[in-house]
């Protein structure tokens, strides 16, 4: 059996390491071949435990497969292939190897049957993704990668503490469903949520991802957050808290994306928004909702990568990221415009796109459970997705005003990467049965009914009306909007500076007081023992005799008393 | 002006006309499809249409309000290297 010797994740990681030494045609063959081989391995792998062993007395399972892990490992492998195709023109010698190590670690994390293996791949992902950001080789990318790594190492430590608590409490390292009953399990949840981009530690995502290169952000958009969705699906299905966390993420993403001027930061906030839908599905926790979250992760990886590829092509061609500098690019970049529009329609869940057949599963599940508030909020959020990612992004980048820029469409390998994901996004929207067949539970939902199509079209078309009617309110300005990263980029340094200044002042005051005190002592000593001091000056013999007589008298007095 | 056909004022007017027709069509289509509402609220005529419109208006206004407090010049952190 091939699966006894070959692990899809390790295969992609090995491919990435080999890639570092390759160039030219061999580089392309390995970069495309390793993810393809991994995809084939994942599809061919049978259900069950494939690798197991023991480590520190615990049973560990580095390779186990079920329906859920196969779904995620497969889409990660497909994503690595499409991303590598798009990135073939990337001159950086570091980025593609790092991206494959990152992708392979994500595949490894989804195939991990125990929490120790999961943690190892989890940390390897942090290293790989940091290197992907780093390889953009700009000063701002370097600084962002350091902030990114700090947050992920913090998340890793929290997760490790939780895992250690869980293993010592239960004596088992198996990756099972956790109840929120012990501090250890809360820590595990917190560690997972850091990678999902959950507020308050969410700003790492829009802070760091847009600083990557035109191809680097494509990889980043897929693996970290979706691995987090996967572990939440496996570890915390039905944890009600996740409904509210997810809904918060959904609206946080929309609001910040609406305020944003940088096209790649718009798409980064949109990742948080989309992951919010999935987290909400995990929180609802019924089979239909878990199917919805899993299907949404699958399709989201494709259309979000497509959107970020179109933005990457614009960045590649123009060197610009700000909406206020862009516009009118449809004239000379028709291919990129069409691919970007397909991604925009898919993320908005237009009928005949992959978003329509996946996101509606979650919303339907909320309705089935008669969760009116959740259902209403998800509906408003769907309208908001069309607003920020479906229209705002393509409108300001490709249409809007004529910026005067006339860049050409990108090179063939980049166009092929976009074409592949555009075809998949439409294809899965039309032929959705293969996707439904891959989901963890049997699907009892028909996406294409007259009612579903009409109500979705109403929602989206009237959202479009709201966008164009309120366009003056959405005019782009050269601004950013403060996010929680302000606390560690401005507040914490200010506090440290303030503390340093206060300590300096206190030190100076202390020195002054010490000086005054020592001056006083010196004066006292000098008054008494100095040249003219009372105890140092020459005394007369008579005076001495008088003092001796007085002391003798005092002694006699005390003696007789 | 020899601009792209898509940017000509006549085309833009035509697109607006088509858009408004499409809006009307999606609402009118509610008469012909079979209802599968999960909530009674959904049975209100054109629910998705006006809910989508209102939700978007509310989101835009709320983000404007939030922006009034939290917007800063984009060189606020003093390390944006332009469009690099």
Domain boundaries, chain B: 1-33, 36-71
* pLDDT reading at B83 higher than 80: no
pLDDT at residue B82, rounded to an integer: 41
Pairing of the two strands A48-55 and A479-481: unpaired
Q: Touching check for B23 and chain A: CB below 8 Å?
A: yes
* Partner-chain contact A466 B57, CB within 8 Å: yes
- pLDDT greater than 50 at residue B81: no
Cβ of B48 and A331 within 8 Å? no
d(CA A550, CA A212): 94
Interchain pair A458, B49: CB under 8 A: yes
B68 part of contact set with chain A, CB < 8 Å: no
Query: B33 touching A, CB under 8 A?
Result: yes
Which of B35, B56, B59 lies closest to A255 in CB terms? B59
Interval A169-214: pLDDT, tens: 998 889 989 999 999 999 999 999 999 999 888 899 999 999 999 9
d(CA A376, CA A400): 31
Contacts of A217 in chain B (CB under 8 A): none
Name every chain B residue with its beta carbon within 8 A of the beta carbon of A450.
29, 32-34
- Residue A466 and residue B56: Cβ atoms within 8 Å? yes
pLDDT tens-digit series, residues B40-70? 888 888 899 999 999 999 999 999 999 888 8
CA distances from B4 to A103, A339, A407 (A): 42, 19, 15
Q: What is the pTM for the complete model shown? A: 0.89
pLDDT > 50? residue B84: no
Minimum Cα–Cα distance from A472: chain B residue: B60
Q: DSSP string covering A102-152, please?
A: HHHHHHHHHT-SBHHHHHHHHHHHHHHHHHHHHTT--HHHHHHHHHHHHHH
Q: Is B83's CB within 8 Å of A322's CB? A: yes
pLDDT for A464 equals 92
- The string of pLDDT tens digits covering residues A474-523 is 888 888 888 888 888 888 889 999 999 999 999 999 999 999 999 999 98
CB of B58 within 8 Å of a chain A CB? The answer is: yes
How close B10 comes to chain A (CA, Å)?
16
- CB distance B72–A451 less than 8 Å? no
- A489·B42 Cβ contact <8 A: no
- The two tokens of residue A262 are 């940088």
pLDDT at A1: 66
On whether any CB of chain A is under 8 Å from the CB of B62, the answer is yes
- Cβ count near A348 (within 10 Å): 27
Alpha carbon distance A139, A144 (integer Å): 9
- Candidates A337, A404, A463: best to mutate against B (most CBs of B within 10 A) is A463
Does B15 touch chain A if contact means CB atoms closer than 8 Å?
Answer: no
User: What's the pLDDT score for residue B79?
Assistant: 60
| Number of Cβ atoms within 10 Å of the Cβ of A438 | 18
| pLDDT tens digit at each of 561 positions of chain A | 677 789 999 999 999 999 988 888 899 999 999 999 999 999 999 888 888 888 888 889 999 999 999 999 999 999 999 999 999 999 888 999 999 999 999 999 999 999 999 999 999 999 999 999 999 989 999 999 999 999 999 999 999 999 999 999 998 889 989 999 999 999 999 999 999 999 888 899 999 999 999 999 999 999 999 999 999 999 999 999 999 999 999 999 999 999 999 999 999 999 999 999 999 999 999 999 999 999 999 999 999 999 999 999 999 999 999 988 898 899 899 999 999 999 999 999 999 999 999 999 999 999 999 999 999 999 999 999 999 888 999 999 999 888 888 898 999 999 999 999 999 999 999 999 999 999 999 998 899 998 899 999 999 999 999 999 888 888 888 888 888 888 888 888 899 999 999 999 999 999 999 999 999 999 888 888 887 777 777 778 888 899 999 999 999 999 988
Which chain B residues have a beta carbon less than 8 Å from that of A265? none
Handedness of CA A258, A263, A269, A275 (dihedral sign): positive
Set of chain B residues whose Cβ sits within 8 Å of the Cβ of A449: 33-34, 36
Looking at the DSSP bridge assignments, the partners of residue A75 are: none
pLDDT for the residue B2: 59
Mutation target for B interface from A207, A378, A480: give the one with most B CBs within 10 A. A480
A219: tokens are: 């990889």
- CB-based contact (8 Å) between A199 and chain B? no
DSSP string, A340-379: HHHHHHHHTT-TTSHHHHHHHHHHHHHHHTT-HHHHHHHH
Tell me if residue A210 falls in helix, strand or coil. helix
CB contact under 8 A, A258 and B63: yes
Residues 498-527 in A contacting B (C-alpha not used; CB under 8 Å):
none
Q: How far is B14 from chain A (nearest CA, A)?
A: 15
CA distance A135 to A11: 22
Question: Could B36 and A449 be called an inter-chain contact, meaning their C-beta atoms sit closer than 8 Å?
Answer: yes
Q: A489, B7: Cβ pair inside 8 Å? A: no
Closest CA to A236 of A171, A169, A162, A135: A162
Please indicate if any CB of chain B lies within 8 Å of the CB of A407: no
A231 CB neighbour count, 10 Å cutoff: 26
> If you count residue pairs, one on A and one on B, with CB atoms under 8 Å apart, how many are there?
170
Question: What is the four-CA torsion angle of A284, A287, A289, A294, rounded to 10 degrees?
Answer: 120
Q: Say whether A384 and B74 touch across the interface (CB within 8 A).
A: no
| Cβ contact, residue pair B60, A320, below 8 Å | no
Instruction: List CB contacts of A492: < 8 A, sequence separation 6 or more.
Output: none
Contact A456, A385 (CB under 8 A): no
> Does the CA dihedral A414-A415-A416-A417 come out positive or negative?
positive
Report ipTM (2 d.p.).
Answer: 0.89
CB A450 within 8 A of CB B32: yes
Predicted local confidence at residue A227, as pLDDT: 97
Percent residues over pLDDT 70 in chain B: 90
Segments making up each domain of chain A, as ranges: 237-479, 489-560
Instruction: State yes or no: cis peptide before B64, omega within 30 of 0.
Output: no
- The pLDDT score that the predictor gives to residue A455 is 92
Contacts of A461 in chain B (CB under 8 A): 19, 22-23, 26, 49, 52
Please tell me if residue B73 touches chain A, with a CB cutoff of 8 Å.
yes
* Cross-chain Cβ contact B61/A473 below 8 Å: yes
B55–A325 CB contact, under 8 Å: no
């Amino acid at each position: 059996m091939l699966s006894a010797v070959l692990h899809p994740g390790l295969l992609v990681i090995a491919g990435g390491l080999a890639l570092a030494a390759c160039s030219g045609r061999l580089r392309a063959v390995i970069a495309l071949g390793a993810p393809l081989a991994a995809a084939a391995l994942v599809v061919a792998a049978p259900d069950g435990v494939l690798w197991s062993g023991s480590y520190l007395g615990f049973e560990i399972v580095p390779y186990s497969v079920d329906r859920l892990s196969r779904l995620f490992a497969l889409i990660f492998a497909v994503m690595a292939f499409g991303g590598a195709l798009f990135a073939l023109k990337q001159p950086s010698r570091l980025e593609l190897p790092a991206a494959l190590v990152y992708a392979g670690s994500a595949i490894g994390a989804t195939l991990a049957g125990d929490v120790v293996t999961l943690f190892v791949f989890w940390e390897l992902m942090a290293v790989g993704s940091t290197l992907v950001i780093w390889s953009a080789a700009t000063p701002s990318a370097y600084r962002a990668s350091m902030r990114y790594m700090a947050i992920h190492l913090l998340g890793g430590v929290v997760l490790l503490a939780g895992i250690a608590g869980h293993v010592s409490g239960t004596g088992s390292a198996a990756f099972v469903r956790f109840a929120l009953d012990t501090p250890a399990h809360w820590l595990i949840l917190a560690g997972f949520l850091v990678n999902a981009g959950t507020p308050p530690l969410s700003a790492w995502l829009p802070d760091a991802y847009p600083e990557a290169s035109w191809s680097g952000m494509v990889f980043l958009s897929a693996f970290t957050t979706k691995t987090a969705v996967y572990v939440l699906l496996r570890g915390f299905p039905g944890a009600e808290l996740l409904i509210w966390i997810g809904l918060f993420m959904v609206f946080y993403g929309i609001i910040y994306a609406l305020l944003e001027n940088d096209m790649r930061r718009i798409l980064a906030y949109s990742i948080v928004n989309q992951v919010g839908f999935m987290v909400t599905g995990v929180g609802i926790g019924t089979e239909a909702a878990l199917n919805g979250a899993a299907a949404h992760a699958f399709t989201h990886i494709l259309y979000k990568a497509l959107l970020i590829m179109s933005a990457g092509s614009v960045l590649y061609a123009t060197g610009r990221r700000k909406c206020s500098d862009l516009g009118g690019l449809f004239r000379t970049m028709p291919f990129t415009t069409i691919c970007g529009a397909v991604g925009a329609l898919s993320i908005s869940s237009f009928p005949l796109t992959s978003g329509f057949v996946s996101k509606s599963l979650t919303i339907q599940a909320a309705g089935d459970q008669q969760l009116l508030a959740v259902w209403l909020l998800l509906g408003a959020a769907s309208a908001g997705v069309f607003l920020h990612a479906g229209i705002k992004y393509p409108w300001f980048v490709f249409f809007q005003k004529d910026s005067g820029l006339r860049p050409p469409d990108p090179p063939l390998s980049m166009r092929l990467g976009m074409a592949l994901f555009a075809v998949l996004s439409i294809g899965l929207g039309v032929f959705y049965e293969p996707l439904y067949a891959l989901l963890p539970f049997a699907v009892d939902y028909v996406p294409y009914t007259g009612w579903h199509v009409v109500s979705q079209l109403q929602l989206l078309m009237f959202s479009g009306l709201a966008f164009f009617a309120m366009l003056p309110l959405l005019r782009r300005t050269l601004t950013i909007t403060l996010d929680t990263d302000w606390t560690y980029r401005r507040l914490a340094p200010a506090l440290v500076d303030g503390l340093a200044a206060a300590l300096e002042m206190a030190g100076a005051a202390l020195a002054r007081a010490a000086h005054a005190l020592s001056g006083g002592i010196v004066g006292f000593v000098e008054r008494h023992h100095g040249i003219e001091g009372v105890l140092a000056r020459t005394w007369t013999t008579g005076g001495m005799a008088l003092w001796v007589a007085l002391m003798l008298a005092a002694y006699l007095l005390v003696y007789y008393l | 002006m020899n601009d792209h056909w898509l940017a000509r004022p006549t085309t833009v007017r035509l697109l607006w006309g088509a858009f408004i027709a499409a809006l009307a069509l999606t609402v009118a289509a509610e008469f012909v499809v079979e209802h599968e509402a999960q909530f009674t609220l959904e049975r209100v005529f054109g629910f998705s249409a006006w809910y989508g419109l209102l939700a978007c208006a509310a989101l835009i206004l709320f983000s404007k309000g939030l922006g009034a407090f939290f917007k800063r010049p984009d060189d606020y952190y003093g390390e944006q290297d332009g469009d690099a």
